[in-house]
Structure 1
Amino acid sequence: MTSLRSEGAPGGQGGPGGVYCRLVEQEASNWDLEGAGAEPSVSSVRLPPVSRGPGPFKPASICLAALSLILLVAIIAVATHHKDTSGGEGEFQKQKQEANVTALTAAQSKLQQENANLVEEKARLVEERDRLVEEKARLVEERDRLGEEKARLVEERDRLVEEKARLVEEKARLVEERDRLVEEKARLVEEKARLVEERDRLVEEKARLVEEKARLVEERDRLVEEKARLVDKLANQTLTTVPPALTAPPSVACPEDWLRFRTSCYYLSRRSDDWSSSQTYCQRQGGHLAIVLTAEEQTFLWDLLPRGHWNAYWIGVSDAHTEDEWKWVDGTTLIGGFWEDGEPNNHIDEDCGYIVKTRKLERVALKSWYDAPCGMARAFICEREM
């Protein structure tokens, strides 16, 4: 009996209890390894630990197995001892064994109930573990998405930083340009004020010159009339005092292609040349570009010109030496003139005068002068005094 109990004790390494304990521990270790292998390894997300392996139910399972083994050994020992013993002692031992069996059966039932509770707890924990694993996978996916979003935002930030730097540089350039324009504006305002002042002075000067021109034109017309009166008077006196043989003046004819008006001959060219070359040609013919002093002379020349689209002829007036100071080729200053309205205007460095006749019947002889660049090629009118 003593040997059997010691042989079936749970602490013995060579008995059935020791073998069963090792099997239970091996099964628990395999379960630990299986549970550990099912979990994905993700370093960046930490899950709360799930009780496995040496958890709250492993020692209980081992104890339950050990107690079941002890009960089995006790039953075997009681049966064996019952065969070997007899009489009153056997009855006592039998009753004692029955009491032990009853106690062991109750303990076994209690342990089985606890084992069932632990199995149920294990299932619940496994389910919780699976839920946490899914939650972990979701969090990993969310982490990856946030990582991609972070990378996109970092790239966007870098682009905005570059854009900001470009805009700052552009702003500096625009500020510099603005300052330059402000300075330019101030300079132009000052220049405008100076030009306005100069314009007012020129307007006053022009008014004075117009007034002077009107006075001189009036004086010229008076002198022309006086000259004509004196010429007529002289002619009448000559007719009354000179002998009949001397009353007829010698006949003076103009060269071929030249036309006479009073005391001058005029030539209308058939060629075109610039103003200076035209003057040179007239000088070679013993004359100069036409000097037109009276309305009669202007009308005479105008009537000689044919009508056309723009029949223009140089005359001997120019302000090439001093702007707006028009002089004839003999050096005398132009007084008045027969300019078209708005002329001369020096539109494109126009320093030489010409007379024009067109198909427009509204154009009149006494408003037919224009100014033009001296380098333009035009026909011309030569004049030679008799």
Structure 2
Amino acid sequence: MGVVKISLNDCLACSGCITSAETVLVEEQSITRFLDGISGKQLCVVTISPQSVCSIAVKRSLSVSQAAKLIASYFISKGVHFVIDSSLGRALCFDETYEELMSKTLRPILVSACPGFVCYAEKSHHGFLLPYLSSVRSPQAIHGALVKDFLSRRFRIPVISIYHAAVMPCFDKKLEAARNDFFVPGTNVRETDCVISTVEVDGLLDSVENIVDVKEEGWLGDFSRGVLYGNEGGTSGGFATAIVTRYVNEHGGEVTEAKVDQNHDVISVLQDGNIVLQVARIYGFRNIQNLVRKMKNGKATYNYIEVMACPAGCGNGGAQIRAESAEKRDQVLKSVEEMYSLIRNSATEEIRKIAAEWSALNPDWKKLLLTEYHVVDRSIVQGLQW
């Protein structure tokens, strides 16, 4: 029998565990593939998550701004045209998710930004969770559309001549980029061509000799100048907090917060003593399994849930830089969380500009912010190349 060849897409199609595909991930999406991929492209864009920036900043004893400039300088030295903050996609995600919450009757709505949780939902419980998943894409996937649709139209460059990579705190983001849902409509072109982990990028930064001086104005140049966008609510993106904040701004109410346990928080909005909105942050698979049991029993009273597979959320993602001992790991995570909380620049004005220009270029642009989910048959391994 010949050698079995498995593509990255097969990792999403089968019912095995994600960690069994580590070799495939390294071959399919790596720094080497990235450098090969950008060669000859007319436009190369790299999206960077602020969680990755904070992890690198803590490890190298830099400020967030210094770390951003260092990261951007590496990629620009390799031929990348723009390095951008994934928080822009997160801000678009907040807006769409809030509108979804206001219009969708099936509750709770589960945040779908975590690819580990999405894979779990598609492969487990016979699809029970899928109707509850938010139809809004993750920030990474929104950036895929931002680059391959908006920038393609803005600069009049065909998508085949554009390369988009993302630096993320989570290896599962490599799986997300390979989903069939995230190809440019009507083509075989991925919206995100490659995902590189925080730890992979950190290993390259010692080679940076000069910090670049970027002249590009606005959001396309902000990250390279050391400007990141932030919001309250923790290193998993602050989805729950954003929902509550906007609701209270529009409808009023008193906000209370309670900690159920280390990875389970509940935020309630009260009017006249009655709960009118209740959201939760639930991290880690033990808590996720408890949530599923409550949902099946009709005892999950939340309207909206920020769900993440990793305990402590995205700041503790599997692709972040690790300390050697458990004690040091806790301290590093605390430092990453503290640094993340200091990012306070608002993306509101930049998002307004992007939305207006994107709408003018493509009236159907908002459809590109949404996605679908699919039950994965655990008894079938699809599409293997024998």
- Scaled by the length of structure 2, the TM-score of the pair is 0.17
Name whichever structure is richer in helix by fraction: 1
Q: Higher strand fraction: Structure 1 or Structure 2?
A: 2
